[in-house]
Structure 1
Amino acid sequence: MKLILVLRDTAFFTSRGRGEKKQPGCFGYPLSIFFIVINEFCERFSYYGMRAVLVLYFKYFLHWDDNLATVIYHTFVAICYLTPILGAIIADSWLGKFKTIVYLSIVYTVGQVVMAVSAIHDLTDGNRDGTPDTLEVHVALSVIGLLLIALGTGGIKPCVAAFGGDQFEENQDKQRSQFFSIFYLSINAGSLLSTIITPILRGQECGIHSQQKCYPLAFGVPAALMVVALVVFIVGSSMYKKVSPQGNIIVKVSKCIGFAIRNRYRNRSKSIPKREHWLDWAKEKYDERLIAQIKMVLKVLFLYIPLPMFWALFDQQGSRWTLQATTMDGNFGAIQIQPDQMQTVNPILIIVLVPIFDAAVYPLIRKCKLDFTPLKRMTVGMFLAAMAFVAAALVQIEIDKTLPTFPSSNEFQLKVINLGTKDLNVTYVANTADSALIPPFKANEYHTLEQSSSVTFAYGTNTPQPFPLQDLAEQTRYTCVVKDDGTAIQANVFEDISAKPDQGSNAIRFVNGMQEPINVTLNAVSLGQLMPLQISNYTMQKLGIKEIEVFTASGKTWKVESIKFGFGSSYTIIIKEGNTELQVEYVEDIQPNTIHMALQIPQYFLITAGEVVFSVTGLEFSYSQAPSNMKSVLQAGWLLTVAVGNIIVLIVAGASHISQQWAEYVLFAALLVAVCIIFAVMAYFYTYVDPAEIEAQFDEEEKKKNAKEIEAMGVQNGDGPYSQTKM
């Protein structure tokens, strides 16, 4: 969700001081707003760019598991949506919007710089092996950076758009409205570009002593854009109209509600007549207009209670859905999509769907004479989001079918490669005996064994020779390389990769099936010398065809092109000597990702369509039902629902203990459907009001009251229409 939607009606409560000098303009607009629009574009680029790669930074750099990465991600987002209340209070009560934006932008910028520094793996890489000696420093810096960013981005959120609205004159309603459209476009442009660019930057390799994914660059560019945002905003300082703090309406509303509760509690035992509404207990201190306005706001805030569940699903695009994309195939032919780049589907669809709904869908519904009220639209939006998670669950089920099954507790897995010239007979002895016949230079599938199991090897009719398995660790995969030298069977065991390769990389290694030592190079990466019957370390390779080069001890040089590697596979490549050229055999240890990322598009379409009819409609409904001076109260309430939604994710992810990801998706979908039904019932009993009409009634009553007071004062002074002058 792009939060400018919350601020679209800021013009309704923008105030203008009297006697201010006219500011320089351009094309009928105050020149100052161009600095504000550029500032917002850079700030949104900074925020969404950093957030796009955040969950992958947690998983692949800090090495947190999926659940912890999800918890920290949603904790950060929740804080980002809690701090706007603090920013609004500071701006309206003490510092004013301009100073609040400047001071908190400085905090924001420092946070982004700290995040960029935290991602430098050479920072604590004393061994120069590409791995930080201690992650505590990186974790501490990351937490500090995220807290500063949350305070900065949340604190300025309620101020920037309102400050832009302050720049217009009272007779510039059209320009002000167009400004908010441009402002909203700048947010989506910043979000879209950053979500495309920062994953590309992350995909680069950088480092002083060793090369790794370039998270410092992925965080550093957003930090640089935040510096630009701050500088641009300050440069326009002399052109801004700066409205002095007028007192925060949120504080005033809170005090009125608190007084009503206390007053009712104090008089609960006294014989005082009951009042129609519990807020009427505030009449001793607050005027009836304010109380009536708060009643209208509370009616809308009551409808907000079920809304956090929608955001609990919506914001998982940046966590669970991004993690889901890491197990999928991102090859779109001419381009290769990174998992975190799939988030760009949301802003693209927003730009496409908003005008389609406004120009085609809603008019068509009206022509069909269907009573599609705002609350009904919001109900449909919640249902669409639930269906998006059903779609995500179906995709996850298909992904799970392609994922390898790793050994559980008290088990290990063993694969055998036959480097001999005859068929190898392998017998596994566990609770029952099981055997496999492996042709020369081939391998069998992984066989799951318990710790008490044993295995024997035999070539032809020779006597089976036992091989010890006692030293093999549980929950681990192994490859046993076997060969008959004519007198005895030789066997070596090597530990395999026990997880799907990260970020769509391919884990490639080689086994020497020749009679002499060799040196192997893959795509210009040397794997060192390999003795016969030995396996190299893994090298991580990206999508595509690679060149394999082998140098033998006898001076021969062999070259051959590999198969085309996909995403997330693992291969053991057997090197054997042919008559005229190098021969290689591929043993697939982990199959590549075969489920395409394009299958995520339906779930993104459903949740974006849900956002359009839920978020936009919800805001328009909320503001149409609230008094003009209470917009900021509803803004705070709306942001609070987003924060609570992310907290719900934390609770479910931490308490559900669901091992299957598709089941968690179904759980969230079921919860939202249940909440959707509750919201539909609440909406059925809601009565729409016209705040302007109610306020007009108070204005009329106030005019009559003032007129009576003036008339009474005139009679008392002998100046009334019926007074007589004494001579």
Structure 2
Amino acid sequence: LPTAAKSKGSKQPGCFGYPLSIFFIVINEFCERFSYYGMRAVLVLYFKYFLRWDDNFSTAIYHTFVALCYLTPILGALIADSWLGKFKTIVSLSIVYTIGQAVMAVSSINDLTDHNRDGAPDSIATHIALSMTGLILIALGTGGIKPCVSAFGGDQFEDHQEKQRSRFFSLFYLAINAGSLISTVITPILRAQQCGIHSKQQCYPLAFGVPAALMAVSLIVFVIGSGMYKKVQPQGNIMVQVCKCIGVSSKRLITQTKMVLKVLFLYIPLPMFWALFDQQGSRWTLQATTMDGNFGAIQIQPDQMQTVNPILIVIMVPIMDAVIYPLIKKCKINFTPLRKITVGMFLAGLAFIAAALVQLQIDKTLPVFPASGQSQIKTINLGADNARVTFLPQNVNVTVEPLHGTDYRTFETSRLQHVVVAYGSNNTTLNAPITGGERYTLTVKNTVSGIDAQLLFDNVTSKPEEGKNLIRFINNLPWTVNVTMGGADFGELTTLSATNYSVFSGGRTDKIVVSTNVTNCTATSNSLGFGGAYTIIINECSGNVATLNYSQDIPPNTVHMAWQIPQYFILTCGEVVFSVTGLEFSYAQAPSNMKSVLQAGWLLTVAVGNIIVLIVAGASKLSQQWAEYVLFAALLFAVCIIFSIMAYFYTYIDPNEIEAQLDEEEKQVKKDPDLQEKEEKEAEAVSRM
């Protein structure tokens, strides 16, 4: 085997002591990460709200995709180290990547198929087929280039530039998180726009299309720097050569293989970190949909909370390099790479404990909906006097003040037969033909002709999606009216009747217009928060002003999204000491001809971590989300202890020094035939051990 990899390319120009070529690589990585994280930021919501998959299935497909993205680095590393070289591999798979992003954008165009009034496709087969094709191509592209780009950047440095190479990995990681930060701000905004030719929908084509464009830019920038790159040529099929170590092979390859296997063995516990970390894009994003995103002047979308991580990364990486690590060194604490990784794992576990505490607070605010054998009824008194309502035969009595309502009461469906409504000495009896698992509103009013009582079917048994509000109107005027709110027309509404619920964006106010035969009355709606359902009662229309009352059917989200910031902060601190260290450690401990292979091994831990999410979430059968968070934290704490023990017995190596010694030994072998025969026998004996 050759003693060193050959490289080609023009003499590299420098900038601030760094090869100029790395700036093209960093810009390429920024654009590619913008593309990947921008698409991924809205992916779980695309599954849930566009393809109409439930939370668990959306989470499962999301983590399957992420796992695939981190399985394909093995393929990319083999192609790069054994066949095409890193440069050609990056270019070839970037083309595949760009095509995949474009297919994903096309898959989300709602006008490809028929659609219903809500903008959801009636037939989603085409969307699913295109989406899965796009995601597979993206996984092949992003995974294939992932181990090559970081290792290719490391190749640009000379042996004496160890300090610059170390800082490059921090700069490289900053580029990753800068791209992630900007994309996770922008793509949720693009998603929230309305677009479509025949139907209005959330603009997923734009949210996926912009990342596709950035991937094309990434490819172009990388190719432009071609003439400056130091390109290490492949040295044959490394994996085939490794397998041949079972038979007779050179001492060099046996030693190199052992170096790689020692590190890969150390990586066995690491997937558990990624099992927690990557739930930012699934469980934590879904958690944010049940929270209040009102930050005063701006409204934060649930998927935009993922920006907290890259924001903190951009802040924390320089602080760690310039302040924390030097301070630890001055305190004479030997904060080795493996110790950093251990601390990172522990912090990730703490982050999930914080997430569990937030979830407990959210659960306290969630409404309780009826089970299959139960029904819930609330009462709204539209009259001018107190109303007394009795539910029979359970004999439950409720007194309701004028123009007020009660909370929902739960009844066993089989035991509720009649409702008696009384105003003073006058009363009326109403049959209760209710269905299990449903909610109803009982409206009552005393009129000149007697007591009017109606049981309305609410048809709402879950929180509104994405922090939106559900709003309906009840006409408490003695004549028919027409009601509009914002751009929504509720149509004609006869006296004492109710409209269906309509969906409105949360946190906004709208103009309400009540039209009668003789006049129009207007009012500005209250700011109704996020994730609630309301019944608005039209009580009066005089002097062009509408008098309204509000009845809360489902309470809005009251736990603020800002409460997610501590869990993001703790997890990000863990990521900084875990992931940045892992990238550098993987490169530093790898032999010269297996840099990409060991990078792929590091990335493989991410894939296995996402598979762990699927296994644990599927096998645990926990009904409470906070309990699932605690389970993941407990598993990581246990794995952290195991890893710390393994790390204690690991011996750091200098691959360059070892390979230099091997070079010297090979020179001696070539000079002495007898020594060469002895070396071959020793190599054969070692390979059979």
- Between stretches 99-108 and 656-665, larger displacement belongs to 99-108
Range with bigger deviation, 309-318 or 356-365: 356-365
1:555-574 pair list within 5 angstroms = 555-574=518-537
Could you tell me how far 1:237 is from its partner in structure 2? 5.4
Q: Which amino acid aligns with 2:519?
A: K
Aligned residue number for residue 577 of structure 1: 540
CA contact (8 A) 1:114 1:141 kept: yes
What is the aligned counterpart of 2:99 among 107, 110, 115? 110
Q: Report the equivalent of 1:149.
A: 138
Question: 2: CA distance between counterparts of 1:690 and 1:166?
Answer: 16
Q: Name which of 392, 399, 406 aligns with 1:444.
A: 406
Counterpart-to-counterpart distance in 2, 1:674 and 1:149: 34
Among candidates 600, 618, 622, match of residue 564 of structure 2: 600
Q: Give runs of aligned pairs for residues 39-438 of structure 1, distance below 5 A.
A: 39-126=28-115, 130-164=119-153, 182-234=171-223, 244-256=233-245, 259=246, 282=247, 285-429=248-392, 432-438=394-400
Match of 1:481? 443
| Post-superposition offset of 1:165 | 5.4
Q: Is the 8 A contact 2:38 2:184 kept in 1?
A: yes
Q: Distance in 1 between matches of 2:210 and 2:482?
A: 40
CA RMSD of aligned residues (A): 2.9
Q: Tell me if the contact between 1:249 and 1:632 (Cα under 8 Å) persists in the aligned partners.
A: no
Given that residues 421 and 453 in structure 2 are in contact (C-alpha distance below 8 angstroms), is that contact kept between their aligned partners in structure 1? no
The 5-angstrom pairing of residues 584-663 of structure 1 reads 584-663=548-627
2-side partners of 1:649 and 1:560: how far apart?
Answer: 49
Change (3 A) 1:188 1:575: same
Cα distance in 2 between the residues matched to 1:34 and 1:387: 36
1:534 partner SS: coil
Aligned-pair identity in percent equals: 65
Q: For residues 483-507 of structure 1, give each alpha carbon's deviation from its aligned partner in whole angstroms, at most 9, with x where no partner exists.
A: 3442353414132422111111111
Q: CA 1:625/1:245 → structure 2, altered by over 3 Å: closer, same or farther?
A: closer
Partners of 1:513 and 1:144 in 2: how far apart?
Answer: 54
Q: What residue ranges of structure 1 are gaps of 5+ in the alignment?
A: 1-12, 260-281, 713-727
1:275 counterpart residue number: none
1:244 is displaced (CA, Å) by 4.4
Picking from 631, 634, 637, the partner of 1:670 is 634
Once the two structures are TM-superposed, the CA of residue 182 in structure 1 deviates from its matched residue by: 4.9
Q: Which residue identity lines up with residue 594 of structure 2 in the other structure? A: M
Query: Structure 1 counterpart of 2:556, which letter?
Result: P
In structure 2, how many angstroms separate the alpha carbons of the residues matched to 1:27 and 1:699?
33
Quote the offset at 1:54 in angstroms: 0.6
Q: Select the structure of larger CA radius of gyration.
A: 1
Q: CA 1:244 to 1:300, structure 2 compared with 1: closer, same or farther past 3 Å? A: closer
Distance 1:241 1:294, change over 3 A: closer
Report the residue type matching 2:69 in the other structure. Answer: C
**What is the Cα deviation at residue 228 of structure 1?**
2.6
Q: Does structure 2 conserve the Cα–Cα contact (< 8 Å) formed by 1:418 and 1:482? A: yes
Distance 1:661 1:14, change over 3 A: farther
Aligned to 2:484: 521
Secondary structure of 2:514's partner?
strand
Q: Distance in 1 between matches of 2:566 and 2:666?
A: 56
Task: Kindly provide the amino acid, as one letter, of the partner of residue 95 in structure 1.
Answer: L
Q: Offset of 1:631 from its aligned partner?
A: 2.6
TM-score normalized by structure 2?
0.90
Residue 560 of structure 1 and its aligned partner are, at CA, apart by: 1.5
Q: Distance in 1 between matches of 2:485 and 2:4?
A: 64
What displacement does 1:394 show? 0.2
In 2, Cα distance between equivalents of 1:381 and 1:500: 36
- Alpha carbons of structure 1 residues 236 and 351: separation in structure 2 relative to 1, 3 Å: closer
> Offset of 1:426 from its aligned partner?
1.6
Q: TM-score, normalised to structure 1's length?
A: 0.86
Q: Secondary structure at the match of 1:125?
A: coil
Deviations 1:496-551, CA, capped at 9 Å, x for gaps? 42211111111111111111111112124222111112212223223445244333
What SS class does the counterpart of residue 85 from structure 2 fall into? helix
The 8 Å contact of residues 122 and 208 in structure 1, kept in 2 or not, is answered as: yes
Aligned AA (1:438) = V
CA–CA distance in structure 1, aligned partners of residues 582 and 17 of structure 2: 32
Structure 1 residue 561: Cα displacement: 1.8
The 2-side partners of 1:393 and 1:127 are apart by 38
SS in 1 for 2:641: helix
| Deviation per residue, 1:141-188 (Å, 9 max, x gap) | 211111111011111222334445566788888877776665444322
Change (3 A) 1:180 1:461: closer
Aligned amino acid, residue 78 of structure 1:
A
- Comparing 341-350 and 352-361, the one that deviates more: 352-361
* Equivalent-residue separation in structure 2 for 1:373 and 1:43 (angstroms): 31
Shift of 1:331: 1.4
2:658 is aligned with 1:706: no
Q: For residues 26 and 686 of structure 1, what CA distance do their matches in structure 2 show?
A: 37
**One-letter amino acid matched to 1:351:** V
d(CA) in 1 for partners of 2:345 and 2:164? 34
Contact 2:382 2:443 (8 Å CA) reproduced: yes
Aligned equivalents of 1:53 and 1:15: distance in 2? 42
